[in-house]
Amino acid sequence: MFDRPLKKGTQICGRYQIRNVLGMGSYGITYLASELGGGDVCVVKQLRQTKVWTSSGRRSFDREAEILQGLDLPAAPRLYDVHRSGRSWFIVMEYVDGKNFEDLIFYDGCIFDEQQTILILLEALQITALLHSRGLIHRDLRMPNILQTGEGIRIIDYGLACRLTESETAFYRQPEKRLMRSVSVKSDFYALGHFALFLLYSGYIPAAKKEKSWEEELSISSGLKSVLRKMLQIDSPYECAQDIIDDLASLNMTSRVVIQENI
């Protein structure tokens, strides 16, 4: 069986019509859709038909729907509808109008300096802290899932999110994947540490052919290096988001003072 995306114009749940495919993941296919009769734009996430047959696929679908239903965070998409019928399983949610940081960097050519990176990271961490306070971890805080909108940062795609009380049964060969998927708040810090590195590398121009470590290549303050080393678990890792927020806020205030002194 092949998981072919639904065609443009396909009607689902008797209420929505597919406009186009937004993305395809290991468990789901995501579409841009609208309500029939010219209604509001929304996002429809379809569980792959091959995954409907598996307990892990159904469990992942149910968990994402349940998490979105109880989340009620301004920075997360609102859940509109859940539909299960035969091999057709759909989650309908709010369309977040914004651009993810992958597109901003690689398609729009945006460059983020240290101060901008700190401010973006602070906002993402504040949202992450709210998730953690509700006993949830996202486990997929990558550039495609962090959006810049007119109202600020939004975080999407809760397909890998879980509760801190859950146990992890999957085995990942890659150490990086194990750190990012672990059932711990540290997994979100690790992912956001890599997210910050992508922002900082957006303006990096190699001065030599030989590849070096990020600490050697990036011209950033020792304070930010220290924060990132803890987030990436190179040094003793952070245990809660507020500690990172406090350290970054302190760095941001220091950088502002330096800028003012140089004016």
Fill in the amino acid letter for 121: L
Name the maximum alpha-carbon separation found in the chain. 66
- Average of per-residue pLDDT values in the chain: 91
User: 24 - beta bridge partners?
Assistant: 29
Mean pLDDT of the region 153-165: 94
Mode of pairing for the β-strands spanning 146-149 and 98-100:
antiparallel
Q: pLDDT at position 205, please?
A: 86
Q: Which CATH class is domain 98-262?
A: mainly alpha
Q: pLDDT at position 7, please?
A: 94
Mean pLDDT of the region 162-170: 82
**Confidence check: pLDDT of 166 > 50:** yes
Looking at per-residue confidence, does 133 or 181 come out higher? 133
Q: pLDDT at position 171, please?
A: 67
**Confidence check: pLDDT of 248 > 50:** yes
Specify the DSSP class assigned to residue 145: G
Would 11-94 and 98-262 be classified into the same CATH topology? no
Mean pLDDT of the region 171-179: 79
Give percent of the chain with pLDDT exceeding 90: 77
54-69 pLDDT, tens digit per residue, is 998 999 999 999 999 9
Q: pLDDT at position 255, please?
A: 56
Domain borders along the chain are 11-94, 98-262
Q: Does 45 appear as a known binding residue?
A: yes
User: 163 - beta bridge partners?
Assistant: 136
**Confidence check: pLDDT of 242 > 90:** yes
Grade residue 170 by pLDDT with cuts at 50, 70 and 90.
low
**Confidence check: pLDDT of 39 > 90:** no
Grade residue 207 by pLDDT with cuts at 50, 70 and 90.
confident
Ramachandran sector of residue 9 (left: φ over 0; alpha: ψ -120 to 50; beta: rest): left
How far lies 171's CA from each of 163, 164, 178, 181, in Å?
18, 18, 8, 10
pTM equals: 0.91
**Confidence check: pLDDT of 211 > 90:** no
Question: Two tokens at 131?
Answer: 């998730």
Grade residue 13 by pLDDT with cuts at 50, 70 and 90.
confident
Q: pLDDT at position 261, please?
A: 42
Closest CA to 160 of 183, 194, 186: 183
Cα–Cα distance for residue pair 64/55, rounded to 1 Å: 14
**Confidence check: pLDDT of 262 > 60:** no
Cα–Cα distance for residue pair 59/62, rounded to 1 Å: 5
Mean pLDDT of the region 77-94: 94
Cα–Cα distance for residue pair 23/151, rounded to 1 Å: 23
Mean pLDDT of the region 220-249: 97
Radius of gyration of the chain (CA): 20
What number does CATH give the domain 11-94?
Answer: 3.30.200.20
